[in-house]
Structure 1
Amino acid sequence: MIVLGACERNSTPGGILSEDQMVKVLIDIQLTEGIVSALPIPYDSSQVLYSVLEKEVFSKHGVEDSVFTKSMLFYLEDAKKMDRIYGRVIDSLTVLETTPGKKEELF
């Protein structure tokens, strides 16, 4: 039973996105933020646009915004996990930025 309990503590609780899912969603969120921030539109308009695009990101990944928020709060409680997740996000964004044709595949 001790082994079982140890395994349960390391697993992701129900209603929380896995690390792999978080990485995928965060990649698209970072790309969306970059696109919106680069547009020559007023700040308030960019916030409205971002909200719409963020919903599309969640829809693309089959994730509700409340589940994403709950997952972010969960991972923020563990700095090592969050560092690992964002490390993967940064690595993926770097590959997208440096690989010709990769950006176009996303949209």
Structure 2
Amino acid sequence: MGNFGIKIVFISLTCFFSCKSSSEDVIDKKTMAIVFAELKTAEAKVSRLNLTGVDSSRVAFKYLEKQIYKKYKVDSAQYLKSFDFYAKDKKQLLSIYIEAEKIIEKNKNKNTAY
């Protein structure tokens, strides 16, 4: 897992143990899976750029992250609250991860087909 993946997991776990969330601001499961998949794809893109400094990588990822949140009309706080909400039920969280994995695989196949 890359440096950004560790950070995303750390932030998510921190939120999981410190935030209380209601279902009011929760992103639906389908959108959550899409956003997660796009964040992981962005992380992979940044890691392939071979930027010389951690700061450069961080800036590049933050830019892509903001674009993803904007695209789906969510923000980082709402994403983390939603992650917290779904993490309370491991089966729901697992289903989001599985769906995100399918999305990543589908997009990978689409990008390699000519």
TM-score, normalised via structure 1 length: 0.77
Q: Is the 8 A contact 2:69 2:75 kept in 1?
A: yes
Tell me the amino acid that sits aligned with residue 31 of structure 1.
T
Larger Rg over CA atoms: 1
**1-side partners of 2:88 and 2:47: how far apart?**
28
* Same amino acid, percent of matched pairs: 25
Using a 3 Å threshold, how does the CA distance of structure 1 residues 21 and 100 change in structure 2: closer, same or farther?
A: closer
- Among 48, 52, 57, the alignment partner of 1:46 is 57
Q: Distance in 2 between matches of 1:84 and 1:68?
A: 16
Gaps of 5+ in 2: 1-21
Q: Which runs of 4+ in 1 moved over 4 A?
A: none
The count of aligned residue pairs is 91
Paired position in structure 1 for 2:43: 33
Which one of 74, 77, 83 corresponds to residue 63 of structure 1?
74
- TM-score between both structures, scaled by the size of structure 2: 0.73
Could you say which residue in structure 2 is the equivalent of 1:85? 96
Instruction: State the 1:100 CA deviation.
Output: 4.6
Question: Unpaired runs of 5+ in structure 1?
Answer: 1-11, 103-107
> RMSD of aligned C-alpha atoms?
1.7
